[in-house]
Chains A and B, each alone.
Chain A
Amino acid sequence: MIVLDGVCKAFGPRVILDGLTLDVPDGRNTVIIGRSGSGKSVTLRCIVGLLQPDAGAVRVDDVVVGELDRDGLTALRSRIGYVFQFAALFDSMTVAENIALGLTRRGIDAPEIAERVRESLALVDLAGTEAKYPAELSGGMRKRVGIARAVALRPRYILYDEPTTGLDPMTTATMDELMIRTRDLGVTGVVVSHDMKSAFAVGDRIAMLHQGRIHRMGSADEMRASDDPVVRAFIEGRPDHAVAAR
């Protein structure tokens, strides 16, 4: 279980997270929605310890991330897969090498690595692309390789940073399906998105990040039915002044 407890994070004078509290229940997909720049990526980075909160704590499986030493952090990260917004594939490596890198680190032997590479590529419908370089792939394919790289490690949690942003509707549907499939394999997902359609499709729970905190949280139906002005404005995609005017 991932618990964010009063997490604060500022960059210089700019406060991004301001006491964010959120529980992520196991075995389900929690979607965090919010505007660009609201701190969604910062939240994910705090969960894996790429950023340290200024105040508050992130707990994963009852361990406080900020208190871990180097080895502890490595152990924690072996349980968390991270899918980056622009995939962040290593461009000097082939697709197979990208997926294998994390497996090698875990001391898994070569035949098992080859098997897992094949298996995870099949899961994202990219079988046969092992020898390709990231530059040869489309944006959507790269994102899927990013998911394969995370899934291959058989993590307990996967954090997705805007998995559908910038993708065409069909590829988006494929990504949604993938995230649901992964959840059905028992993986807990935290999905960061500002794509409402996708959020409603994959989210068992949807949390709205606004002004550094979770403003509202609920199931897809609850969020759709919400009469909170901030939530409504976001879901309906209304411009800024509409919110201010209410």
Chain B
Amino acid sequence: MGRWTLGATRALGDVSIWRPLVIGHMRRLGVDSIPIAIFIAIFTGIVLALLASYIFTGAMPLYMVGALVGKTVMMELGPVLTGMALAGRVGANIAAEIGTMRVTEQVDALETLGYDPRSYLVVPRVVAATLMFPVITAFAVAVGVLAGWVTSVNLLDLSSVEFLKGLRLFYHFKDLWFGLVKSASFGAAIALMGSLRGLAARGGAEGVGEATTRAVVLGCEAILVLDAFWAVVLL
């Protein structure tokens, strides 16, 4: 563990190696992830609005639908569902790519050319995911709330004014940054799991497949653990 930390610190110190690579990884991440994030957000928003109206009807004023959709999308479902989906997509992608490089000796080739694979392969991916996940999640949150709003107006007996009133009523700035901080940590965890599983891949195609599966499972587990961690620490 101590050696691992030392290695990671040194890799982070190789700024001149990883910095030029970050932008490219961010772009790829965005292109890969935004469509799926938006897709999930739309359906989450719709379901949440209907669910909230079902729960609140007769018990509370219906504008509470806006509050529930806003809070849950920003604080929990936006970051977590997006994170889960990207653990599959991004985590698997990274593990497969680095795993293939490992079993075809490309990682060894990197080392013989004087590059620390952690500096060249792992750090730029982790940094890119940490920076990009909040952006993707912000998109998802906006789309989710919008979907909830449209649903409320069209399928429920709710006006835009009422929905927005509910949305604003209990909103704190913390709701938003809480979700975004969480998503940054999810991004870091997913990229890290994918990279480390990839680097540890052994054998041939089978080893890469195994690394990929492990990366996705570990990524999802990390998300759940981190989700609880942030709730305990920040709420």
Contact = CB atoms under 8 A, between A and B. Distances in A.
Interface stretch (A75-83, A179-187, A202-210): A75-83
Contacts of B109: 82, 84, 88-90
Interface stretch (A21-29, A59-67, A98-106, A230-238): A98-106
A48 B112 contact: yes
A84 B111 contact: no
A201 interface: no
A88 to B, nearest CB: 4
A134 to B, nearest CB: 10
A43 to B, nearest CB: 14
A74 interface: yes
B111 A77 contact: yes
Contacts of A48: 111-112
Contacts of A80: 112
Interface in A79-121: 80-82, 84-86, 88-91, 101-102, 105-106
Interface residues of B, number: 15
A91 B110 CA distance: 12
Contact of B114 (A78, A88, A90): A78
Contacts of A50: 108, 111-112
Contacts of B115: 101, 105
A145 to B, nearest CB: 12
A80, A90, A153 interface centre (most CB from chain B within 10 Å): A90
Nearest to A48: B112
Contact of B112 (A82, A85, A86): A82
B168 interface: no
Contacts of B112: 48, 50, 77, 80-82
B136 to A, nearest CB: 23
Contact of A70 (B17, B104, B116): B116
Nearest to B116: A70
B116 A86 contact: no
B32 interface: no
A83 to B, nearest CB: 10
A192 to B, nearest CB: 14
B105 A70 contact: no
Contacts of A149: 113
Interface in B90-117: 101, 104-106, 108-116
Given A50-B108, A84-B109, A77 B10 contact: no
A77 B112 CA distance: 6
Interface string B62-85: 000000000000000000000000
A70 B10 contact: yes
A137 B104 CA distance: 16
Interface in B114-153: 114-116
A102 B113 contact: yes
Contacts of B116: 70
B105 A84 contact: yes
Contacts of B114: 74, 77-78, 102, 105-106
A161 B114 CA distance: 19
- Count chain A CB atoms within 10 A of each CB in B108, B109, B115 and give the residue with the most: B109
Interface in B24-77: none
A88 B113 contact: no
Interface of B: 10, 17, 101, 104-106, 108-116
18 contacts: A45-B108, A50-B111, A78-B114, A84-B105, A84-B109, A86-B104, A88-B104, A88-B105, A88-B106, A89-B109, A91-B104, A91-B106, A101-B115, A102-B113, A105-B17, A105-B114, A105-B115, A153-B113
